[in-house]
Structure 1
Amino acid sequence: MSSYFAQLTTEMNNPATIAIDEVDTRDMLMLMNDEDQRVPLSVREEIDVIAEAVDLLYHSLKNGGRMFYIGAGSSGRIGVLDASECPPTYGTDPALVQAYIAGGDTAIRTAVEGSEDDSEGGARLIRDIGVTADDVVVGITASGSTPFVLGAVRQAREIGAPTIGVVTNKNSKLSEICNLCIAPVVGPEVISGSTRLKSGTAQKLVLNMLTTGVMIKLGKVYNNLMVDMKASNTKLYDRSIRIVKQVTGVSDVEADEALKKAGMQVKKAILMLETGVDAEEAAAILEKHAGRLKEAICEEKTNLTAQANKQEIVAGRLLPQAADGAQTGED
């Protein structure tokens, strides 16, 4: 056995679950649940590094860069899941957040034996998908030693792309070659070495924070509402109506009408209702504010208030003149 793997906490035996095969079903599940409680706390210990990673990603994406998840096995599948949810949730171009798994798309459903050990395959993938120095590559591996992921990260570094590691062990091989390494230590797994359990949960929580944090900073959230979502099914259309109503206070009918005029774009519909502009004007205002709805509403309302005040001042100056004219006419 490699000494590297022997020292990994995720490969160690968990004394708390040593007799998990001897207890009844409820106690078995309680043991699992007890261990799961450790996961969010381990992620919290990494908040400062996660914040750095979010800021790094934000800087890249706002300047035209892209985000690439690279993983293998369970780690790769978690990356694919997170990336695939960005377009419907935040209305992003599928190219903005991409995910790749060792063994290709087949490996999402079926294990492709040996693919994760292909270091050159990881490096080749980075070249093939056209990663540039403007992009960010996020390598995901519980052990921090998967050759496919290490090869991809090394190649990304050679290209000049910033790199982030997501692992569940300290002092990993991945941490040595990444610009930032997020490493929540979840301890030995319930079933020794089964990193789809606590490690997978921790990775999912971290990836949730990375993409959600970046999308908030990119202005794709208003308060805590997903105003850039795509109403691609009945549930999401209903949610769109409710979001427009919640922000603007209009009725179902008015929200539906505004959404249709806005081409089913929630942000645009809200801006139209809040400021009285038409769809074309709303699009231009949003573009000016890089899609930041709150900023757009605030500035437009400020402009409207300033215009109204100016008109009142002008009207106030005209009134005495009119009164004088009327008086002169009487004389």
Structure 2
Amino acid sequence: MIKVAIVGSTGYTGAELVRLLSHHPEVEIVALTSQSYVDQAYEEVYPSLTGQVGLSCQAQDIEALMNEADVVFLALPHGLSVPWAQEAYRQGKKVIDLGADFRFREVQTYENWYKTKHEAPDLLSQAVYGLPELNRHKIRESVLVANPGCYPTASILGLAPLLQAKVINPKKIIIDAKSGVSGAGRSAKLGSLYGEVNENVKAYGVATHRHTPEIEQEIAALLGMEAEKVKLSFTPHLMPMTRGILSTIYGELLENLQISAVELRQIYKDFYDKEPFIHITEEDQWPQTKWCYGSNHVFIGLTVDPRTHRVIVTTAIDNLVKGAAGQAIQNMNILFDLPETKALERPGIWP
């Protein structure tokens, strides 16, 4: 059995890790940490998980926890993962960081966008960006996996076939994305209150959102370019729903290129052939967030607008599963040479 510890287990992402891993046939959860609920039974924090784990929350003792676990999931805010990653690397343990601390190859990019000094820039070169559909061979050989952000997951998966096929201009990409409120985390915030969110839609982080450079970095990697040579416009919106991300991507076709929606759809089907979680919809069938609610599945719809000479792609994921905990477990399965779908096979919940 793989012994698993979850650091930051009482946030929404941590709870989703517990929910999914508690039914993983190859996993034993040995430790759940929390800052706010030390010594409290986990099922008291999340009654929905009564009878699933039988553990209490413990303090965040790095050395003791590392001794117990084969793999550690870090569900922490940015800036807090470094000590854990350093100790794990020292001990040769595997770490999957669901925060932003190891997603960037250039320390300056992280420090500029997150306004935080990185305390272990030497470890950035050891981290692998954990998007399995693009990097599974690198993930398999790694010990430190940087789990992608939720918006970048939806955006990069929607863009990757276009970029590899070289049919759009990589400097003229627009991403309009919507997310459920759970993406803001469990802590009390004015903007997440029911009275603020219900019957309301708002843009936020306009032209400044921290996921922008993450998407640009991975687009550049696909194209074999330096990250600073890729520029895109990314605007996220908060929706009055609990879960889900819907990203609509606009790409300008290269000049004089003529391609039909049928041809483009085949490019996507070929690119994601045999990918168990990626589903390309048929003509005039557009993804909905409810299709993947509570699941690790991804739905991608697309068309060509000949009038504007643009490609339009829409991607739907669950921000807490494929956008966080589910993808982290998919990465763990790869690290331990298990089928990627293990504990993630279930479809979304409808309605």
Q: Same fold by TM-score, threshold 0.5 exceeded? A: no
TM-score (normalised: structure 1): 0.32
State which structure, 1 or 2, has the greater radius of gyration over its C-alpha atoms.
1
TM-score (normalised: structure 2): 0.30
